[in-house]
Amino acid sequence: MLLSLALALFSSAISAAPLEPRANLPLPSRAVYQFSNPNWIENIAVRSNGDLLLTMLTTPELYQLREAQGPSPQLELVHSFDSLTGLMGIAETTQDTFIVAGGNFSSPGVGVPGTFSVWEIKVCGRRPEVSKVVDIPEAVFLNGVVANSLIMDEVLIADSSLGKVFKVNVKEKKYQVAIELPEMAPPANAAIQLGINGVHIQNGFLYWTNTLLDTLFRVQINKNGIVAVGAKVETVATTTSSLDDFALDRKGTSWVTTNGNNSVLAISPNGKSVVVAGSISELTVAGATAAAFGRTPKDRDILYVVTSGALAAPVNGTITEGGKIVAINTKDFA
């Protein structure tokens, strides 16, 4: 979910057919919590109790934001990973047990090969339990993480530079390449090797964004987390925005963050899309990196978006801010 400064030149226009929402746009939003500048929030996971877990890129830290729905959210440090310089994707395998990927970076968008690893964090007790699952020495840039709900203790992790998906068995502490497709790879001549980014699974399909292809793809997978026999890659939508991570709602709409374009898109299953928050010249969701829906009755229609503060591509070329969590109310969106 990293972007180079060059992505500031990307247009915010959308080439996919426009979605026709039954709601006034932009959708209502509010800032929930903001870090000081510079602080890049890379990813987010929502606990069943409503608390938010936040991975940081500018520091190798995992934070928890309590009472995100209330007037005074409380931030606390869960763990600092001393052997890493930054954290990436996060996913829940079983209740209150999360998997995080991290590594070292020489600059935004450039991972240091041989430094990436996968960690397990249990946050159900008074003190978090943190343990390394496995090193992945051939990884170049681990990014999005998704749990395979059909196999306990198994996750899929995207490598943005290699254009591959690793499958990690948490219990056995083993990994292997599960999927490698041309649509996952970055363009061959790209200055920053940034292909597959966010990954999510819904109804037997693996969805992923390819940032430098500006495209959301999907492919049918089997219970073992590999491409189903005879399955073909499908293009959900192609845009001219730099797609980062995303969340899927119950209707199959993809809520996609665009880091370099400072916005959030809603992409319907038929590929129609619309900007629902932010713009390339706004700070509303400046440097949006990831999104996740709330899990309590109070916030199940709230999309929590985390941001980098436009550190990779400053707004209007000069403006940055501390990363923040923004709550977008999607209740009236169809």
Determine the pLDDT at residue 109.
73
Range of the domain at 304: 5-329
**Residue 114 domain-assigned (yes or no):** yes
The full 3-state SS of the chain, as one line of letters, equals CCCCHHHHHCCCCCCCCECCCCCCCCCCEEEEEECCCCCCEEEEEECCCCCEEEEECCCCEEEEEECCCCCCCEEEEEEECCCCCEEEEEEEEECCEEEEEEECEEECCEECCCCCEEEEEECCCCCCEEEEEEECCCCCCEEEEEECCCCCCEEEEEECCCCEEEEEECCCCEEEEEEECHHHCCCCCCCCCCCEEEEEEECCEEEEEEHHHCEEEEEEECCCCCECCCCCCEEEEECCCCEEEEEECCCCCEEEEEHHHCEEEEECCCCCEEEEEECCCCCCCCCEEEEEECCCCCCCCEEEEEECCCCCCCECCCECCCCEEEEEECCCCC
312 part of a folded domain: yes
Evaluate whether residue 57 is within a structural domain. yes
Q: pLDDT at residue 78 above 90?
A: yes
What pLDDT score was predicted for residue 10?
37
**pLDDT at residue number 3:** 44
Q: In the prediction, which pLDDT does 108 show? A: 72
Q: Identify the CATH number of the domain in which residue 236 sits.
A: 2.120.10.30
pLDDT, position 307: 99
Q: What is the mean pLDDT of residues 67-89?
A: 97
pLDDT for 25:
97
Could you tell me if residue 334 is inside a domain?
A: no
Among 10-14, 92-96, 131-135, 317-321, the least confident range: 10-14
pLDDT band at 21 (very low <50, low <70, confident <90, very high): low
Mean pLDDT, residues 55-59: 96
pLDDT grade for 22, boundaries at 50, 70 and 90: low
* Mean pLDDT computed over every residue of the chain: 94
Whether 63 is covered by a domain: the verdict is yes
* For the chain, percent of residues with pLDDT exceeding 70: 93
Kindly tell me if the per-residue pLDDT of 47 is higher than 90.
yes
pLDDT at 12 over 70: no
Give the pLDDT band of residue 82 (cuts 50, 70, 90). very high
Number of folded domains that form the chain:
1
Q: What are 91-140's pLDDT values in tens digits? A: 999 999 999 999 999 887 789 999 999 999 999 988 999 999 999 999 99
Q: What is the pLDDT of residues 212-244, one digit of tens each?
A: 999 999 999 999 999 999 999 999 999 989 999
Say whether pLDDT at 324 is over 90. yes
Could you report the per-residue pLDDT of 157-184, keeping only the tens digit for each? 999 999 999 999 999 999 999 999 999 9
Q: Could you tell me the pTM of the whole model?
A: 0.94
Choose the weakest-confidence range: 8-12, 37-41, 170-174. Answer: 8-12
Per-residue model confidence (pLDDT) at position 148: 97
Residue 210 inside a domain? The answer is: yes
In a domain, 308, yes or no: yes
